[in-house]
Amino acid sequence: MTIAITGTSGQLGREAIGFLKSRFDPPALIALARDPAKVTDLGVTARAFDYTCAPADLAPALAGVETLVLISSSDFNDRVGQHRNVIDAAVAAGVGRIIYTSILKADVSHLLIAEDHRATEAIIAASGLPATVLRNGWYTENWTGALGAALEAGAMIGAAGAAQFTPATRRDYAEAIAIVAADASHAGATYELGGDEAFTLAELAAEVARHTGTPLPYNDLPPEVYQGILESFGLPAGFAAMLVDVDVKASEGWLYDTSAVLSGLLGRPTASMASAVAAALG
């Protein structure tokens, strides 16, 4: 079986390649990246692959690929169009199965970020390619990656109120990709994936304070105030609006999942919030 993974210069793709290398000989793996020079250290075949290219230009990079893992684009400029390019190229190249990293409850979610994923899932379904859809919840690193700034500012901020999240770490999601990619029996499945532990942002802030010994409140802000602060950090207005929307609508349960499907795939509990905080604080 030959497995190719897109976006391997990013953190999720790199982690997934690492897990797959423990299950396959490296020649059976292909790292796809806009700049192949950035992924040569992965020790597998590297091929140039840019989501913005036409399908006819992308298809040669998928020659011989049986399973393609499409990690959703991090470029919010026409993500659906970029994903369509990849899917059309996979069809043209004769790829046997596609795995797509979507978002929790994509088919019904009211989150703005779910719209691109819902559209992409529809394109995959229309393509006729056997598919496995991994509907990932929020990533714990979306918060722990900014703990330094929060500690420096003396508070965590957001607009989620008392909403509960069930995120998982990037490493857990990456291992799930590897497990599903390595086993063709997952074709046709859609998995809703969340971590085992639910928590609020106030509880996350309290855990950080426990680890550091420094008080760290969670300051819940009006959405428009949070939006302005995010933009003051240099985030584009559209991206900031998406993050605010996630917080505001989290209370509706769109990023809350207690199915334990992820830990079932992994065969172990997902990483705890406390362990993720400890890792982030180093």
Asked if 280 and 215 count as a contact pair (C-beta separation under 8 A), the reply is: no
pLDDT for position 171 = 97
pLDDT for position 26 = 79
Return the minimum-mean-pLDDT range out of 19-33, 100-114, 241-255, 263-277. 19-33
Looking at the DSSP assignment, which residues form a beta bridge with residue 33?
Answer: 48
For residues 209 and 151, what is the distance between their CA atoms, to the nearest angstrom? 9
123-156: per-residue pLDDT in tens? 999 999 999 999 999 999 999 999 999 999 999 9
For residues 39 and 30, what is the distance between their CA atoms, to the nearest angstrom? 10
pLDDT for position 24 = 82
Q: pLDDT band at 90, cuts 50/70/90? A: very high
φ and ψ at residue 119, rounded to 5 degrees? -65, -40
Domain positions in the chain are: 3-137+169-193
Q: pLDDT band at 106, cuts 50/70/90? A: very high
- Strands (E) in 149-280, as ranges, are 156-158, 190-193, 218-220
9-22: per-residue pLDDT in tens? 999 999 999 999 98
Q: Which of these, 28, 46, 27, lies nearest to 37 by C-alpha position? A: 46
Q: Which of these, 57, 60, 58, 61, lies nearest to 30 by C-alpha position? A: 61
Q: The domain 3-137+169-193 is classified under which CATH number: 1.20.1560.10, 3.20.20.60, 3.40.50.720, 3.40.630.10? A: 3.40.50.720
Buried (b) or exposed (e) across 203-230, using 16+ Cβ within 10 A? bbbbbbbeeeeeebebbbbeeeebbebb
Furthest C-alpha separation in the chain: 57
Q: Looking at the predicted structure, is the pLDDT value of residue 83 above 90?
A: yes
DSSP sequence for 31-89:
EEESSGGGGGGGSSEEEE--TTS-HHHHGGGGTT-SEEEEPPPS--SSHHHHHHHHHHH
